[in-house]
Amino acid sequence: MSTVIGTATGTAGEGGPSLPQERRLVTEIPGPRSRELLARKQAAVPPGIGTTLPVFVTHAGGGVVVDADGNSLIDFGSGIAVTGVGNAAPRVVERVRRQVADFTHTCFMVTPYESYVRVAEELNRITPGDHEKRTFLLNSGAEAVENAVKVARHATGRQAVVVFEHGYHGRTLLTMTLTAKNMPYKHGFGPFAPEVYRVPLAYPFRWPTGPENCAEEAAAQVIDKITKEIGAGNVAAVVIEPIAGEGGFIEPAPGFLPAILEFCRRNGIVFVADEVQTGFSRTGDLFACEHEGIVPDIIVTAKGIAGGLPLAAVTGRAEILDRVHVGGLGGTYGGNPLACEAALGVLETIEAEDLTGRARRIGAAMLPRLRALAERNPVIGDVRGRGAMIAVELVVPGTTDPHPTAAAEIAARCHAEGLLVLTAGTYGNVLRFLPPLVIPDHLLEEGLAILEKAVNET
């Protein structure tokens, strides 16, 4: 057995891909040191801040997370789709290290710096569409979604925002309103923001007349609702995730997104793609919109953009973004220099290591095994996803009734065996897998074997 890297206090500077790429359990999960820290957390942090797996991390990198007891867990979560390039990715670490010693903050609105401009140039170049674009930077996905709505309202002079069932866009007042699910995101937190309208999503697995009718019928319902209940001429923006993330990795039936986009184009509605979870190679395309050739008017990114440093972006048509008056957009930290350097390191890594191709190969390895698992286990009702954004939806066998307790039970079994998985879904019955794109094959294989065993035993 190799040396234990994670100590009670942690050792500085030993994370990243050079960590031993192995699953290693030296205590039960969570171990005594993590339990001690959990007790402190419970005394110091309100319970509203939940915990998926209470191991306290000291190091992470490649495909593993190392905890305070010296356990090394296989990471199928990437900090919720953030560390696609891996934790403490060398190009990110190197750039941030240099930047933190040069200067840490000036506020880009006060005295600018080049890295922000470079990130904007890069995003303008790599996001879908070859029209003229602008980008501005913020701190979180929610903040970026809010800003996309601000810009769309300003440019159109309209107020209504259309969002979808199963959608997730954040936890601030506006984005919580845009989010579909009551528990835990909205319950007791009202009143919500006005002028937000929710329409159906083309959810193939749950479409009443079958997946083959889903795209066409769902699009017709959306268009009918917008036309009859809101008025297309009142709608500033349609905001949609090209694959619904927190909602359960729902890929809208093929044809749905193009139909909605086309309706937006015809009616002067700003089409906003929320690629906070799907962006930066996660789905096997640099952006999930590319899969169906969708060119959004505005694309919102965050999470995978900066390898774990807080950064988010709004990228959109110059003629929309340029409409806002001088000083109308901003924030103290948006596009912080450390986060910008990290983003440049991420983009270099994606290209140098072909992480888009790597995401496709991860999907190609996972999907057949999960489909075979589903054949043997009727508790798995659906296997879906693209690239390294894969999920299984659990049902009461023989029905399509959601089975959230099975999801929780399988996740708990995986956690106990040292495999970090996340749940999702409007009904809480989806297990989702978001491995770092740099995860070595042997850990991917081992993680799948643990998952298979957990499903078989449930």
- Decide: helix, strand or coil at residue 364: helix
Q: If binding is defined by CB under 6 A, does position 171 make contact with ligand PLZ?
A: yes
Q: If binding is defined by CB under 6 A, does position 141 make contact with ligand PLZ?
A: yes
Part of the chain binding ligand PLZ (CB under 6 A), chosen from 54-62, 140-148, 206-214, 280-288: 140-148
Q: Which is nearer to ligand PLZ, 245 or 435 (CB)?
A: 245
Shortest Cβ distance from residue 98 to ligand PLZ (Å)?
25
Shortest Cβ distance from residue 311 to ligand PLZ (Å)?
9
83 φ/ψ angles, rounded to the nearest 5 degrees: -90, 60
Interface of this chain with ligand PLZ, residues 217 to 256, rule: CB under 6 A: 241, 245-246
Shortest Cβ distance from residue 84 to ligand PLZ (Å)?
14
Shortest Cβ distance from residue 140 to ligand PLZ (Å)?
4
Total residues interacting with ligand PLZ, rule: CB under 6 A: 16
Exposed (0-12), middle (13-18) or buried (19+): which is 163, by Cβ within 10 Å? buried
Q: If binding is defined by CB under 6 A, does position 75 make contact with ligand PLZ?
A: no
Shortest Cβ distance from residue 185 to ligand PLZ (Å)?
7
Q: Which is nearer to ligand PLZ, 253 or 434 (CB)?
A: 434
Return the structure tokens found at 208.
């009443």
Which residues partner with 64 through β-bridges?
61, 74
The single residue among 142, 235, 260, 288 that binds ligand PLZ, judged by CB under 6 A, is 142
Which residues partner with 394 through β-bridges?
380
Shortest Cβ distance from residue 348 to ligand PLZ (Å)?
22
Part of the chain binding ligand PLZ (CB under 6 A), chosen from 90-98, 272-280, 354-362, 427-435: 272-280
Q: If binding is defined by CB under 6 A, does position 80 make contact with ligand PLZ?
A: yes
The single residue among 113, 168, 271, 433 that binds ligand PLZ, judged by CB under 6 A, is 168
Q: If binding is defined by CB under 6 A, does position 274 make contact with ligand PLZ?
A: yes
Cis amide prior to 296 (ω within 30 degrees): no
* H or E stretch at 420: strand 419-420
The single residue among 34, 140, 356, 426 that binds ligand PLZ, judged by CB under 6 A, is 140
Q: If binding is defined by CB under 6 A, does position 170 make contact with ligand PLZ?
A: yes
Shortest Cβ distance from residue 152 to ligand PLZ (Å)?
16
Shortest Cβ distance from residue 35 to ligand PLZ (Å)?
24
Binding mask of the shown chain, residues 85 to 124, with x at each position contacting ligand PLZ by CB under 6 A = ----------------------------------------
Q: Where are the beta strands (DSSP E) in 89-201?
A: 133-138, 160-164, 196-199
Q: Which is nearer to ligand PLZ, 122 or 274 (CB)?
A: 274
**Residue linked to tokens 């889903």:** 214
The single residue among 23, 134, 166, 169 that binds ligand PLZ, judged by CB under 6 A, is 169
Q: If binding is defined by CB under 6 A, does position 276 make contact with ligand PLZ?
A: yes
Q: Which is nearer to ligand PLZ, 65 or 232 (CB)?
A: 65
**Residue linked to tokens 């999702």:** 424
Long-range contacts of 93-101 (CB under 8 A, 24+ apart): 93/16, 93/345, 94/345, 95/341, 95/342, 95/344, 95/345, 96/309, 96/338, 96/341, 96/342, 96/345, 98/341, 99/337, 99/338, 99/341, 100/338
Shortest Cβ distance from residue 245 to ligand PLZ (Å)?
4
CB 99 within 8 A of CB 337: yes
Shortest Cβ distance from residue 424 to ligand PLZ (Å)?
9
Q: If binding is defined by CB under 6 A, does position 393 make contact with ligand PLZ?
A: no
Which residues make Cβ contacts (< 8 Å) with residue 425, sequence separation at least 6? 247, 248, 393, 402, 404, 407
Q: Which is nearer to ligand PLZ, 241 or 446 (CB)?
A: 241
- Decide: helix, strand or coil at residue 253: coil
User: CA 248 to CA 373: how far, in whole Å?
Assistant: 19
* H or E stretch at 393: strand 389-394
Beta strand 380-386 pairing with 389-394: antiparallel
Q: Where are the beta strands (DSSP E) in 139-212?
A: 160-164, 196-199
Q: If binding is defined by CB under 6 A, does position 145 make contact with ligand PLZ?
A: yes
* Secondary structure (DSSP) of 273-284: EE-TTTTTTTTS
* H or E stretch at 98: helix 90-102
Interface of this chain with ligand PLZ, residues 336 to 375, rule: CB under 6 A: none
Site residues (vs ligand PLZ, CB under 6 A): 80, 140-142, 145, 168-171, 241, 245-246, 274, 276-277, 302
